[in-house]
Amino acid sequence: MEKILKDAGDHYDFSIRDISADNKLNFILPFIKDKVSKVFFETENKIEAIILKEYTSIHPSVKWRFQEEAIHLSDRDYLL
């Protein structure tokens, strides 16, 4: 975690240690939010790619089922 914070703060002229304890969370929270957002959108894109690769055109009313299956395929591939 410290390395991530150090890498994230490399372009600043100060160290994470220079920030008071009260402000550390406020300092790193935007980085955490950005990373979570990026992971979320990458996961959504991966699910859509699996659906497009594995299945033909699907009706919007059953798309949720294909999304669930794509999530399972994605999880299985990650574990292998």
Q: Sign of torsion, CA 50 52 57 63?
A: positive
Of 79, 43, 38, 37, the C-alpha closest to 51 is 43
Q: Which amino acid belongs to residue 21?
A: A
Per-residue pLDDT tens digits for 25-77: 788 888 999 999 999 898 888 888 887 787 767 777 888 888 888 888 777 76
pTM above 0.85, yes or no: no
Domain that holds residue 23: 2-79
What is the tally of structural domains in the chain? 1
**What is the spatial distance between Cα 77 and Cα 80, in angstroms, rounded to a whole number?**
5
**Which tokens is 58 given?**
């699907």
